[in-house]
Structure 1
Amino acid sequence: MTARVPGLTAAPVVAPRRADAATLAGLFALVLLFVPARLAVAGLPLSLTPAEIVALSLGVVWACAQMVSTTGVAKGPNPVRTAVFAYALVILAVYGYTTSLYLPSDELNLADHTLVLYFGYVSLVLIMCDGVGTRERLDFVLKALVAGGTFAAAVALLQFRLDLDLTQYLQLPGLRPSSTEEVPTVISRSALRRVSGTLGHPIEFGALSAMLLPLAAHLGFQAHRRGQGAVRWWLCAAVIAAGLMFSVSRTAVLGLAGAGLILLVGWNNRRRLAALVAFGVFLGVMKVLAPGLLGTFYNLFAGAGEDSSIIYRTHDYPWAIREFERSPIFGRGPGTWYPYKHQVFDNQYLLSLVETGLLGMLGFVGVIVTGIVVALSVRRMSSDPDVRNLALTVAACLLIPLLGAATFDLLSFPGITSVMFLFVGTAGALLRMERRVAQTPSLALRSFHDPADRSRSLTAPTGNGHGSARSGSS
């Protein structure tokens, strides 16, 4: 028996946290952004990266959790879940129709591979929407995303400044190059290096950095408001912003400008002023750190009318229309219009029309728009400033792929596509949480102010048909 010391109280026993859906989603985010995108798992008939294997595993976890009622995974209706199910059915219909016709063996293999990838994307939405049940666990996933984006941007910084490519030293056992066509990690533009970090291409890396930068800023503002350490998140934001610049990508700048417009409209005056001051200081640092970089960006937009890359993007419209007219409803098959055999379309809307027809293109746009609308709805519903700001940030981040799809073939890059679907699932998770708060306001308010009551409130039945309100351990 342990003797009790007078004047001392026994410390509360804290039970170890079990791995849950947020743990798995956070693991996916880290694997996606830490492991170079050019590496696939060896020994498989399909070229699948470690992150894609994890995404498919998340789908299996979600399906198993839906078969029981003791895991806390939500089961009720949600607009995000409905939208992604509709999109999955469209892709299945397109795949079934196009593969029932004749396809060359190479295109049939690519259609099979693309279908597997789409299962992974749908799994990401479902595990976020139904499995992440609390703000604390949702923040865990978002922090993992920002940490991974910071690492990718740090790799890009070394590529840009020192011409040192760390991805060459991340050849992990059991992995192999994902393609026989070697895509350079560093590409020249206007005597500058365009870098891609751990991603597959500088455009993908730039657009992904533009999506993660508002999220890093949100975490910084949130930590400051709560009186927590915010410096680390501002450092992450600075590194990600530098990575965006080092991609030397018009797409990244256009996407960030669109997201910034939404944020500036939704933020208060104090936050707007802080953002504008930080932006000015950042441009000054870039002027010193990378002479000529700002001038290159200016020339990219000032000389857009004569830029060869823009001319190349627009000259292929007749090709796309001609292919679309051959099968306007179902297209020619997902993933079947690929480089080295067909004309490249640097426009995801055109590529979707050709590969998946009108149905597939509308489904792609519908998923993103649903995520934006749901996020803005949560912003209107919530009275919690952190939830309102996060919902606004999610809506702004989802605008970036909607704009970027007009400037490059977004769905051909699994990295940014995966992050896009994670953000769509985040919107669905926020809606479920806000509905629960609206139905049990007194309980939610108590658990928000008293961490000791939080575990009890999360296990309280809600009676709303959404399953237990626990954090969705799977």
Structure 2
Amino acid sequence: MTVTPQAEPQSEPQAPPRAAFQAAPRRATRPHRADGATVAVVFVVILMIVPARLVFRGLSFAITPAEAVGLFAMVWWLCAHFTDTLGAAKGRTLVRTAVFVYAASLLATYAYATAGYLPRDELDLADHLAVTATSMIGVVLLVVDGVRGRDRLDLVLKSVAVMGAVLGVIGAVQFLVRFDPTAYMVLPGLRYTQQELFILERNGLSRVAATTGHPIEFAVVCAMILPIALHFAFRAREQGRPSLRWWVCAALIASGMVFSVSRSAFVGLAGAAAVLLVGWPRVRRLLAAGAMLLFLAAVKVAVPGVLGAIVNLFTTISTDSSLRWRTMDYATAATEIARHPWLGRGLGTWYAPKYLVFDNQYILTAVETGLIGLAAFVGLFAAGIWSALRARRLAAGPVDRDLGLTLAACLVVPLIGSATFDLRSYAVVTGLSFLLVGAAGALLREARPGEARPGEARHREARLRRRDGGAGPSTSPPTGHAR
């Protein structure tokens, strides 16, 4: 009589073959459902590709497509906090607190300015700036609460680096060929607010703006996003993955800085480099120095004279007429600040050609929103830098630590650029600055207690235990926690 064995196959199931584990990551590459990162990528693409002077037709005030996406982001964020199904993070963070303080200061300034008499033109501009400021606040909140997971944050930042390379290509065409492709990039339903060219002249050299509003803005944008391209290039190289595409992106972005022929680019990049060189290992510093020398040699051969013109911008700074114009309006600014020291005269109410141009965002902010608004503006970027460095301290892996350092370096650039031109008046650099502030806050949200250093983990666990009334550590985050 034959007995069929049955218990043995059931009691010891065979492990899946090794190939099954190797195939698992492929299933994880299925398209991700739309989330906050998706909206952020759409914002980046529209912000950097659609020429900055294009606005919607038929509206009572000028609004760009990117600002419309920012308003949608504000609505998305509000809806996301009425439900748990849209994937938004909950709980207080420093960036969110700084955003709320910034928004409250603008609201107080608007109320103070409109409580009295304002000329019709200034009132219209105050209303317009209130809408665009709401759009930028929506971008910060979308990124800090809606971009969940390191892979989604990487997606947003990679889109910034790639679009920066596209800007570099457009700038190179404008500079080398003297052909402006932005004249053929007008989408249906849009119109130009002004017909000025995106190619200017300075000391016999072309100054290009790509799709941004001005060569100085183009320069600061390139300086701000170059560390992001370098982060992905070094990261791919150190992980043994192809890195050529990211080096090409970094080279194109750097070429945009050169073709803008602007001091602001190199002053801002110097500030970012100071942050990066402090945190980079020695090998990376040497590689960065070698790459910079190779790039400068290529520029010297391909475009003779441009490096000399850039050097002259610094050597002749004492006789530069543009610098004298920047300092002539200090007395006027001091008078205006003394009239409305705390809340200012109203956001958007000081504009050219009706008033003098302040090529300094700090002075313009103090005049329009007062010392309270100035502190809120600086505090927003300071919160972003602190969050990035805090995430670097909490992160366990070298990739996250390097990203924290990179974002801190990026946010130093607009702080420096605000002293050289009226940064808030330009849409592209403003949108990217606010997006990177949100990215720093999103990175800090990803810093888990288990990934922190032992002392940091114990401190956070004790804090959670005290908040929960002495209960022991939980396996899941409590309701309302940032995760």
Give how far 1:381 is off: 1.4
Counterpart check, 1:122 vs 2:129: no
- Mapped to 1, the partners of 2:189 and 2:283 lie a distance apart of 50
Q: Is 1:392 matched with 2:405?
A: yes
Q: State the match for 1:148 in structure 2.
A: 163
Q: Which runs of 5+ in 1 are unaligned?
A: 1-6, 442-459, 470-474
* Letter aligned with residue 275 of structure 2: I
One-letter amino acid matched to 2:344:
G
Give the TM-score taking structure 2 as reference length: 0.88
Give the letter for the 1:359 counterpart.
I
Residue aligning to 2:79: 64
Match of 1:90 in 2: 105
Partner of 1:262: 275
State the partner residue of 1:340.
353
Cα deviation code 1:143-192 (max 9, x no counterpart) = 11111111111111000000010100101111111x2x433311111110
Larger relative contact order (Cα-Cα within 8 Å, sequence gap ≥ 6): 1
Instruction: Give yes or no for the alignment of 1:23 onto 2:38.
Output: yes
1:253 to 2:266 alignment: yes
1:299 matched residue in structure 2: 312
1:17 Cα offset (Å): 2.0
Q: Distance in 2 between matches of 1:332 and 1:435?
A: 44
Letter in 2 for 1:34: I
> Which residue of structure 2 aligns with residue 404 of structure 1?
417
Give a deviation string over 1:202-223, Cα, whole Å, max 9, x none.
0000000000111100011112
User: Which of 355, 359, 368 is matched with 2:368 structurally?
Assistant: 355
| CA displacement, residues 392-448 of structure 1 (integer Å, 9 cap, x when unaligned) | 01101111111111110010111101111111101110111003654899xxxxxxx
How far 1:133 moved relative to its partner? 1.1
Pick aligned residue for 2:477 from 460, 463, 474: 463
**C-alpha distance in structure 1 between counterparts of 2:117 and 2:448, whole Å:** 48
In structure 2, do the counterparts of structure 1 residues 239 and 98 end up closer, same or farther at CA, with 3 Å as the change threshold?
same
Check if 1:217 corresponds to 2:211: no
Q: Helix, strand or coil: the match of 1:40?
A: strand
- What TM-score does the superposition give when structure 1 sets the normalisation length? 0.90
Encode CA deviations 1:213-241: one digit per residue, 9 max, x unaligned: 11100011112222222111110000000
- Equivalent position amino acid for 1:406 in 2: A
Q: 1:16 to 1:182 in 2, by over 3 A?
A: closer
Which residue is 1:451 aligned to? Answer: none
Q: Secondary structure at the match of 2:446?
A: helix
Counterpart for residue 432 of structure 1: 445
- Partner residue in 2 for 1:373: 386
Q: Secondary structure at the match of 1:187?
A: strand
* Secondary structure at the counterpart of residue 447 of structure 2: helix
**Match for 2:200 among 187, 191, 201?**
187
- 1:108 corresponding residue in structure 2: 123
In 2, Cα distance between equivalents of 1:77 and 1:440: 22
Which residue matches 1:173?
188
> What is residue 174 of structure 2 aligned with on the other side?
159
Match status 1:198 vs 2:197: no
CA distance in 2, matches of 1:464, 1:386: 28
Specify the code of the residue in structure 2 equivalent to 1:42: R
Which has the higher mean CA deviation after the structures are superposed, 87-96 or 371-380? Answer: 371-380
Structure 1's 462 and 415: CA in aligned 2 closer, same or farther, altered over 3 A? farther
Structure 2 unaligned segments of length 5 or more: list them.
1-16, 455-473
Q: Larger Rg: 1 or 2?
A: 2
Correspondence for 1:49 among 64, 71, 77: 64
Specify the code of the residue in structure 2 equivalent to 1:70: T
Correspondence 1:275-354 to 2 at 5 A? 275-354=288-367
| Shift in alpha-carbon separation, 1:440–1:368, aligned structure 2, 3 A | closer
Q: Which residue of 1 aligns with 2:5?
A: none
**Pair 1:331–1:148, CA change in 2 (3 A):** same
Counterpart residue number, 1:446: none
Preserved CA contact (<8 Å) 2:396 2:452: no
* Matched residue SS, 2:124: helix
Which of residues 150, 158, 169 is equivalent to 1:135?
150
Structure 1 pair 72–436 and aligned structure 2 pair: CA distance change class (3 A): farther
CA contact under 8 A between 2:220 and 2:413: conserved in structure 1? yes
Size of the aligned set, in residue pairs, is 443
One-letter identity of the residue aligned with 1:374: S
Answer whether contact 1:73 1:467 (CA < 8 A) is retained.
no
1:81 to 83, 86, 96: 96
Output the CA distance in 1 between the equivalents of 2:191 and 2:300.
39
Q: Find the counterpart in structure 1 of residue 47 from structure 2.
A: 32
SS at match of 1:188: strand
Q: CA deviation at 1:316?
A: 0.8
For the 8 Å contact 2:90–2:482, the answer to whether it is kept is no
Given that residues 445 and 482 in structure 2 are in contact (C-alpha distance below 8 angstroms), is that contact kept between their aligned partners in structure 1? no
Offset, 1:383: 1.7
Contact persistence 2:394–2:452 (CA under 8 A): no
SS of the equivalent of 1:434 reads: coil
The 1:428/1:468 distance shift into structure 2, 3 A limit, reads closer
- CA gap of 1:136–1:461, structure 2 versus 1, over 3 A, is farther
| Identical-pair percentage | 48
What are the Cα deviations for residues 357-399 of structure 1, in whole angstroms up to 9, with x where unaligned? 1011111100011111111111111121111111001101111
Provide the residue aligned with 1:420 in structure 2.
433
Contact 2:35 2:86 survives alignment (8 Å): no
Report the counterpart of residue 395 of structure 2 in structure 1: 382
Structure 1 Cα separation of the partners of residues 478 and 359 of structure 2? 45
Q: Are the aligned partners of 1:76 and 1:466 in contact in 2 as well (CA < 8 Å)? A: yes
Please state how far the C-alpha of 1:464 moved relative to its aligned partner.
3.8
What amino acid is the match of 1:403?
I
- The structure-2 alpha-carbon separation of the partners of 1:462 and 1:227, relative to structure 1 and needing over 3 Å to count, comes to farther
1:305-336: per-residue Cα shift (whole Å, max 9, x none)?
Answer: 11001111111100111111111111110011
Contact 2:336–2:367 under 8 Å retained in 1? yes
